[in-house]
């Protein structure tokens, strides 16, 4: 099992550009989520999904879109990048949508100039 | 508003010097309290889940405990390879698997 994989590992964008961060898991997990990690702020939830075709907003959803067409994949789209979106992004997955341990990917470090 | 606070922010220990990290939580109803370890440049790695006050879990030199207001991560006779940032997070009633994270304790264990 590869677990949770994320691509790319690093990305630099100019303000206004769009891009998609990829996330995939091979554990047949129902629940997937996206977090961002900023210094001094802890991990904050952006969007999550409790199964294919079902997504919902987390704490900081503005400027981001998600979709979940398969169980395995949960891409995060930045519509028009802003410097405030400079962060490290982590995807996570869990067996179910109840309070169960989540397994994190290695992260994508994004810089918006 | 649900809140998770970790202390200290940073901790320096000598190898073999036991200590505890604190995670206090103010949440509407706790469903689960999670501990993760994060190494520089990596994603958080799951350590423990605690579900009710009085529960304890152990793994090698680490033991996590839970009360009604806080959780402790006890590190016994730490080694340099235990150096990492330790994160705690809470899942709350009605929140499904959404986690509220603390900002972490950065632990450095020196020879």
At residue B33, the pLDDT reads 96
pLDDT digits 0-9 by tens, A14-34:
999 999 999 999 999 999 999
Tokens of residue B83, six digits: 């150096």
Q: Of the candidates A40, A102, A105, which has its C-beta nearest B99's C-beta?
A: A102
pLDDT tens track for A42-81: 899 999 999 999 999 999 999 999 999 999 999 999 999 9
DSSP string computed for A23-78:
EEESS--SEEEEEEEETTTEEEEEEEEEETTEEEE-SS-TTEEE--SSSSB--EEE
Distance CA B26, CA B29 (A): 9
Judge: A98–B31 Cβ closer than 8 Å, yes or no.
yes
Q: Which of B43, B46, B104 sits opposite A90 (nearest CB)?
A: B43
Alpha carbon dihedral A91, A92, A96, A100, in 10-degree steps, equals -150
Q: Pick B91's closest partner by Cβ from A4, A44, A99.
A: A99
> Is omega for the bond preceding B8 within 30 degrees of 0, making it cis?
yes
Tell me how close the Cα of B27 comes to any Cα of chain A, in angstroms: 14
To the nearest whole Å, the CA of A95 is away from the closest chain B CA by: 10
Q: How far is CA A45 from the centre of its chain?
A: 9
């Amino acid at each position: 099992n590869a677990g949770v994989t994320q691509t790319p590992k690093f990305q630099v964008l100019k303000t206004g550009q769009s891009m998609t961060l990829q996330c995939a898991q091979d554990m047949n997990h129902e629940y997937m989520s996206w977090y961002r990690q900023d210094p001094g702020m802890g991990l904050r939830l952006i969007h999550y999904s409790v199964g294919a075709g079902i997504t919902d907003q987390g704490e900081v959803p503005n400027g981001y879109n998600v979709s979940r067409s398969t169980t395995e994949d949960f891409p995060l789209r930045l519509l028009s990048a802003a410097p405030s979106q400079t962060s490290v992004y982590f995807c996570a997955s869990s067996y179910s949508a109840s309070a169960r341990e989540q397994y994190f990917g290695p992260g994508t470090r994004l810089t918006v100039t | 508003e649900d809140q998770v606070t970790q202390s200290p922010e940073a901790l320096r220990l000598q190898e073999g010097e036991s200590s505890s990290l604190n995670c206090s939580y103010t949440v509407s109803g706790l469903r689960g309290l999670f501990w993760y370890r994060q190494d520089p440049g990596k994603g958080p790695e799951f350590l423990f889940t605690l579900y009710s006050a009085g529960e304890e879990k152990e793994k090698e030199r680490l033991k996590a405990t839970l009360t009604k207001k806080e959780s402790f991560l006890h590190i016994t006779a730490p080694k340099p390879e235990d150096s990492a940032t330790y994160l705690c997070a809470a899942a709350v009633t009605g929140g499904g698997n959404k986690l509220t994270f603390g900002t972490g304790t950065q632990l450095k264990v020196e020879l």
